[in-house]
Amino acid sequence: MSIEFANESGVDVPAELVLAAARFATEAMDVHPGAELSVLCVDEPTMADMHVQWMDLPGPTDVMSFPMDELVPGGRPDAAEPGPAILGDIVLCPEFAAKQAREARRSLEHELAMLTIHGVLHLLGYDHAEPDEEKEMFGLQNRLLEEFYAQRHREAQQQRQTDRDTRLLTNIGFTDSPFPEFPGGDEGSAQQRPAGSTEQ
């Protein structure tokens, strides 16, 4: 999956988190690995212009999605088999998202991960205009977000274990060789002599 990221918002954005959330959501929704996705972060005036141009609604918003016509969505159960294509564009407004996060007492990182997954679902044809659609989309969004954090937690645990193992091996001298050096002889020489033999 090819994901392009650009930050034109003037806000420090955790790009790795946004990209990881986008990649997780597309993989979980069985989007073809050859598909392409673009994520763009913009400031509030730019988002407000886009909001009125494309949605005919005033003021900025948190996220907008622009699916490409040639994509065959693979996430919905009634969709055809997906193929490599341009998935589309997700536009995030970190300034607006930060305000929402403060009001909801969430971190900006959490808000951006959630909005990224929300944007991916829009690209795949999910919507929340009607109550049934809203229930389906937000239920799926919450499940994906929970699974995303669970995966990151497992990866962080594995990395901490790897770091501990590396420090332990370094401290006891196992940095370059799987066997420690034996005093008074060549490395491994004791294992190479037959059992019961003595040195002449």
pLDDT per position as a tens digit, 117-132: 999 999 999 999 999 9
Residue 110 and residue 116: Cα distance in Å, rounded? 10
Element (H, E) at 199: none
Per residue in 179-194, pLDDT (tens digit) is 555 444 444 434 444 4
Smallest CA-to-CA distance from 124 within 59, 77, 58 is with 77
Q: What is the pLDDT of residues 2-42, one digit of tens each?
A: 999 999 999 999 999 999 999 999 999 999 888 999 999 99
Burial class (CB in 10 A: 0-12, 13-18, 19+), 23: middle
Mean pLDDT check: name the lowest of 43-57, 143-157, 159-173.
Answer: 159-173
Q: What is the pLDDT of residue 56?
A: 96
- C-alpha 111/C-alpha 145 separation (Å) is 11
Q: Is 32 annotated as a binding residue?
A: no
- The rounded mean pLDDT for the chain is 85
> Tell me: the pLDDT tens digits for 90-107?
999 999 999 999 999 999
Q: Is 66 exposed, middle or buried (0-12, 13-18, 19+ CB in 10 A)?
A: middle
How far is the C-alpha of 64 from the C-alpha of 170, rounded, in Å?
49
SS3 41: strand
Q: Which of 118, 98, 94 is nearest to 106 (CA)?
A: 98
What domains does the chain contain, in order, with CATH numbers? 2-69+84-161 (3.40.390.30)
110 appears as a binding residue in the annotation: no
3-state secondary structure of 50: helix
What 3-state DSSP class applies to 73? coil
CA 122 to chain centre: 17
Contact at 8 Å (CB) between 17 and 53?
Answer: no
Residue 147 has pLDDT above 80, yes or no: yes
d(CA 185, CA 161): 34
pLDDT band at 60 (very low <50, low <70, confident <90, very high): very high
The label of the residue with tokens 């954090």 reads: 149
Provide the strand spans (E) within the chain: 2-7, 36-41, 63-67, 86-92
